[in-house]
């Protein structure tokens, strides 16, 4: 298994999510208009360099983010802004019972630094 943490303790996380049919443009529009308070919460949680990619054939989303050490990343699900975002995005994607996006972790198999 490839380590997912660099020498500075920055962790790379990757996961998959699933869009519903016919919502790609709306998903992109909502992320293009990301709420400033959500962006601030993500950055305060140590998240940096966050990418979401789309597999157009399957509507699978592939997310990759860097997580800096020493930040309250695990507290994100409890923040009201995070819960509002999940509610806002729930009509567009597969979600859990609390509207959290369903996520499937993606283990690292190769890395070229």
Domains of the chain: 11-105 (3.30.70.100)
Q: Tell if the pTM clears 0.85, that is, is over it.
A: yes
Name the active-site residue from 31, 71, 88, 111: 31
Quick check: is 111 catalytic?
no
Note whether 53 and 44 are within 8 A (CB): no
pLDDT category, 74, cuts 50, 70, 90? confident
**Strands of 104-105's sheet, edge to edge?**
47-55, 60-67, 11-18, 104-105
pLDDT at residue 3 tops 70? no
Residue range 55-70, pLDDT digits in tens: 999 999 999 999 998 8
pLDDT at 6: 80
pLDDT at 33: 97
**How many other C-beta atoms lie within 10 A of the C-beta of residue 58?**
10
Residues 6+ apart with CB under 8 A from 87: 99
């Amino acid at each position: 298994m490839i380590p997912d943490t660099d020498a500075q303790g920055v962790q790379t996380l990757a996961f998959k999510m699933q869009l519903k049919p016919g919502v790609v443009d709306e998903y992109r529009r909502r992320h293009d208009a990301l709420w400033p308070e959500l962006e601030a919460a993500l950055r305060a949680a140590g998240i940096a360099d966050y990418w979401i990619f789309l597999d157009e054939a399957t509507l699978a989303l592939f997310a990759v983010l860097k997580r800096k050490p020493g930040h309250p990343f695990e507290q994100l699900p409890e923040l009201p802004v995070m819960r509002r975002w999940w509610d806002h995005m729930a009509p567009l994607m597969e979600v859990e019972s609390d509207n959290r996006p369903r996520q499937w972790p993606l283990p690292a198999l190769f890395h070229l630094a």
